[in-house]
A and B are shown apart, each in its own frame.
Chain A
Amino acid sequence: MTVLATPDKTGSGFPLGFDAILDPSPLQYLDEHGALSGALRDDAPELDPKELLATWRAMVIGRRFDVQATTMVRQGRLAVYPSSYGQEACEIGAILALRPTDWFFPTYRDCVSMVTRGIDTVETLTLLRGDWHCGYDPQRWRTAPQCTPLATQAPHAAGLALAAKLAGDDTVALAFCGDGGTSEGDFHEALNFAAVYQAPVIFFVQNNQYAISVPLAKQTRAAALAHKAVGYGMAGVRVDGNDVIAVRRAVAEAAERARRGEGPTLIEAVTYRMQAHTNADDASRYREESEVDYWKVRDPLARLETYLKAAGLLTDDVVAEANQVAEELANDMRARLGEEPEVDHRDMFAHVYAEPTPQLLEQAAALQAEIDAAQLDAAQLDAAELDAEGEAAR
């Protein structure tokens, strides 16, 4: 068997040779019952209890965020919210494996990752509430604006990683996309560029089985999305996307490989979208409830919790503290997202170019005059009403 020019053994439980990539069974540390996975039990590296507890805590908070955001969309406080309930192992495991200096390229479904990164909840949801297209400072958080077109941010991640490499920095870039995104041309061009340049980038596919209503079987004939790595000559890994330990280690190892100058990695994380695509979607039209039930018992948070409890790591105090922080976050979201957002119409013209064109200045002035006139009308109307009330009172 010919082994391609991908790293073969990392010595950490994730063989990356051709044979391993072609084996479509995902790599796993924790099985769905929360027990150490048989295949890797003997090969598992030391599991750091502090790291495990921190990961669990982030998952509790991330899930609470997701549930609260879903509630807020039902209340009309958000225009739309694509839930990542059930995908917390991907959302959180991947982000916790990066350094704060690494760049992250999220899609619209990856709010939980952004909150885990430390971005304020309201800033995270600014796009989805409709206040502005991006609510946070991408430079400060090393987080690109959430991308709505599919996989078009993947070449950005490749380019940024190449730039970091040319600059001599050890920055790594990670781009998320879904299984649907792997069908897009930009996905292929990004992977090819990254491999040719040996750019320090990780392409992380959250294979949640559906692109809105279209199942994976209509997205690809490949036995595994991770197989695509072979064609580009890069390392490819398929992990259980509901096993946060496996995800975290896969990303950490990919990042280490990238920093060592060994180029990009494609990670396919096999997971499931528990909720509908968004609130506008009716998932019952295209999937059976029994399928959702199958995945319910594979819940990433419950799985880790079971393991931690069995290992005696999850004390009542730890649980109480995490739940309290999660509730405070939810309360804060309710309060602040319940307020009417302040939007400034001048922002529409201020950030199109470094200097507005003469044409934009004209349009901004015309809009300002329109708004001023409307306000003057409203003020005169108020004054007239006050006068009328005064007359009536007299």
Chain B
Amino acid sequence: MTATLDGAAQSTEISLAQAVNRALRDAMTADEKVVVFGEDVGVLGGVFRVTDGLTRDFGEQRCFDTPLAEAGIMGTAIGMAMYGFRPVVEMQFDAFSYPAFEQIASHLAKMRNRTRGALPLPVVVRVPYGGGIGGVEHHSDSSEGYFVATPGLHVVTPATVSDAYTLLRAAIESDDPVIFMEPKRLYWSKDRLDTVGPAIGQAAVRRQGTDATLIAYGPTVQTALEAAEAGAAEGYDLEVVDLRSIVPFDDATVTASVRKTGRAVVIHEAAGFGGTGAEIAARVSERCFHWLEAPVRRVTGFDIPYPPPKLERHHLPSVDRILDAVASLQWEDR
């Protein structure tokens, strides 16, 4: 990957939203086949300003507003990719991606397979997702489970400024469709940017620990890290794994961590029943059974439609709820 940042940029902190913007810019500069489109991504720069200035700097042929129609956005992106372009489309909000789901499930995910590799679809679908920003209904869903359950898609979600940049560059360079889940709660979090990052499919150990592994991704990574800090005060030495990529899944990193600690808690905002956490817990159980001191626990959102903003604090996985789960992991000596 070619880093195009100057030294000054590397020494200052930027927001996660700005890191996504930087990745789009650098990808568009590196490859003229990269085009960005969706509702409001042009003049406005996106409702979260993630695409700010792209139309101004690259022209309307490279970054353009579309009619308000998610299936149309997704379907035209597929057609453009069939002709050699590398579209990066925005779904604006998680729940607004549902009208596009048939295009994603029936075509985006399957075109390579249907054509025995003759028609790869290098499309990136940016989905700002998750709650905690006080949004009204249809603005806070965690929709990753639908995509994760659809073979043919890569599903990645950054939790840091640097990962937002490097994972998006990798997603755009990928010849396969990538669902790029952006934790909108973290858009304004700031950090220094490192433009050299991992390939898709590699988890990161964010915090070393020996007593239990907290497995998180996207918006819950920060919560898990806070829980680990708080847990330290209570005598737990907690390891935190940030998945970064749900598909492909990094069994190696997760398995190594849980075999080391012997205990695991999986954390995500989406409903638990039939959710991604169930898959992760099953994989951990299959691979780590003889190392486990307790059943794998999950801390997830309730099995309810995303609640109204005044109630979301009850729904979202919290530090307390994570620590309660840790405390329930059959500690004989505590």
Please, which residues of chain A bring their CB within 8 A of the CB of B99?
A: 185
Question: How many CB-defined contacts (below 8 Å) exist between A and B?
Answer: 143
B71 A186 Cβ-Cβ under 8 A: yes
Partner of A163, one of B71, B79, B111, B152: B79
Distance of B110 from chain A, by nearest CB (Å): 8
Q: How far is the CA of A349 from the CA of B253 in the complex (A)?
A: 24
Q: How far is the CA of A358 from the CA of B85 in the complex (A)?
A: 28
Looking at B61, B72, B77, the one whose CB has the most chain A CB atoms below 10 A away is B72
Distance of A190 from chain B, by nearest CB (Å): 6
Please, which residues of chain B bring their CB within 8 A of the CB of A162?
A: 76, 79-80
B114 A145 Cβ-Cβ under 8 A: yes
- CB of B115 closer than 8 Å to a CB of A: yes
Closest A residue to B64 by beta carbon equals A197
Given the interface pairs A145-B111, A358-B248, the reply to whether A353 lies near B82 with Cβ below 8 Å is no
- CB of B235 closer than 8 Å to a CB of A: no
- CB of A166 closer than 8 Å to a CB of B: yes
- CB of A295 closer than 8 Å to a CB of B: no
A156 B115 Cβ-Cβ under 8 A: no
A159 B175 Cβ-Cβ under 8 A: no
A189 B84 Cβ-Cβ under 8 A: no
Given the interface pairs A149-B106, A185-B71, A351-B117, the reply to whether A158 lies near B76 with Cβ below 8 Å is yes
Closest B residue to A145 by beta carbon equals B114
For window 162-221 of A, CB contacts with B under 8 Å fall at 162-164, 166-167, 171, 173, 185-186, 189-190, 192-193, 196
Of the four ranges (under 10, 10 to 19, 20 to 34, 35 or more), the interface on chain A belongs to 35 or more
- CB of A307 closer than 8 Å to a CB of B: no
Please, which residues of chain B bring their CB within 8 A of the CB of A103?
A: 82-83
A186 B79 Cβ-Cβ under 8 A: no
Q: How far is the CA of A196 from the CA of B84 in the complex (A)?
A: 22
- CB of B113 closer than 8 Å to a CB of A: yes
Please, which residues of chain A bring their CB within 8 A of the CB of B252?
A: 358
Please, which residues of chain A bring their CB within 8 A of the CB of B67?
A: 189, 192-193, 196
For window 121-144 of A, CB contacts with B under 8 Å fall at 132-134, 137-139, 144
Distance of A359 from chain B, by nearest CB (Å): 6
- CB of B303 closer than 8 Å to a CB of A: no
Q: How far is the CA of A343 from the CA of B201 in the complex (A)?
A: 30
Please, which residues of chain B bring their CB within 8 A of the CB of A193?
A: 66-67, 69, 72, 75-76
- CB of B192 closer than 8 Å to a CB of A: no
Given the interface pairs A149-B102, A359-B249, the reply to whether A155 lies near B112 with Cβ below 8 Å is no
Please, which residues of chain A bring their CB within 8 A of the CB of B75?
A: 152, 154-156, 158-159, 186, 189-190, 193
Contact digits for B302-330, partner A, Cβ 8 Å, 1 yes 0 no: 00000000000000000000000000000
Partner of B72, one of A139, A149, A163, A189: A189
A156 B82 Cβ-Cβ under 8 A: yes
For window 59-113 of B, CB contacts with A under 8 Å fall at 61, 66-67, 69, 71-72, 74-85, 99, 102-103, 106-107, 110-113
Partner of A152, one of B35, B107, B151: B107
Given the interface pairs A155-B79, A190-B72, A190-B75, the reply to whether A137 lies near B118 with Cβ below 8 Å is yes
- CB of B222 closer than 8 Å to a CB of A: no
For window 132-190 of B, CB contacts with A under 8 Å fall at 151-152, 154, 174-176
- CB of A59 closer than 8 Å to a CB of B: no
Distance of A122 from chain B, by nearest CB (Å): 15
Distance of B174 from chain A, by nearest CB (Å): 7
Contact digits for A309-321, partner B, Cβ 8 Å, 1 yes 0 no: 0000000000000
Please, which residues of chain A bring their CB within 8 A of the CB of B120?
A: 354
A157 B79 Cβ-Cβ under 8 A: yes
Please, which residues of chain A bring their CB within 8 A of the CB of B84?
A: 163, 167
B72 A358 Cβ-Cβ under 8 A: no
Partner of B79, one of A173, A351, A359: A173
Given the interface pairs A149-B106, A156-B79, A163-B85, the reply to whether A351 lies near B116 with Cβ below 8 Å is yes
- CB of A25 closer than 8 Å to a CB of B: no
- CB of B119 closer than 8 Å to a CB of A: yes
Please, which residues of chain A bring their CB within 8 A of the CB of B151?
A: 352
Looking at A153, A155, A166, A352, the one whose CB has the most chain B CB atoms below 10 A away is A155
Please, which residues of chain B bring their CB within 8 A of the CB of A350?
A: 116-117
Closest A residue to B35 by beta carbon equals A166
Q: How far is the CA of A192 from the CA of B84 in the complex (A)?
A: 23
- CB of B13 closer than 8 Å to a CB of A: no
Distance of B238 from chain A, by nearest CB (Å): 26
Please, which residues of chain A bring their CB within 8 A of the CB of B240?
A: none
Please, which residues of chain A bring their CB within 8 A of the CB of B154?
A: 353
Q: How far is the CA of A347 from the CA of B74 in the complex (A)?
A: 27
Please, which residues of chain A bring their CB within 8 A of the CB of B83?
A: 103, 159-160, 163-164, 167, 171
A352 B107 Cβ-Cβ under 8 A: no
B117 A159 Cβ-Cβ under 8 A: no
Given the interface pairs A138-B119, A155-B79, A359-B249, the reply to whether A189 lies near B71 with Cβ below 8 Å is yes
Given the interface pairs A192-B69, A192-B72, the reply to whether A353 lies near B79 with Cβ below 8 Å is no
- CB of B251 closer than 8 Å to a CB of A: yes
Please, which residues of chain A bring their CB within 8 A of the CB of B77?
A: 159
**Additional A-B contact list (7), CB under 8 Å, known A163-B84, A193-B72:** A155-B74, A159-B79, A186-B72, A186-B75, A193-B67, A352-B112, A357-B247
List chain B positions with a Cβ less than 8 A from chain A: 35, 61, 66-67, 69, 71-72, 74-85, 99, 102-103, 106-107, 110-120, 151-152, 154, 174-176, 201, 247-249, 251-252
Listed A/B pairs (25) with beta-carbon separation below 8 Å:
A155-B74, A156-B78, A156-B82, A156-B107, A158-B76, A159-B75, A159-B79, A159-B80, A159-B83, A160-B79, A162-B80, A186-B71, A186-B72, A189-B75, A190-B72, A190-B75, A192-B67, A192-B72, A196-B66, A351-B116, A354-B120, A354-B175, A357-B247, A358-B252, A359-B249
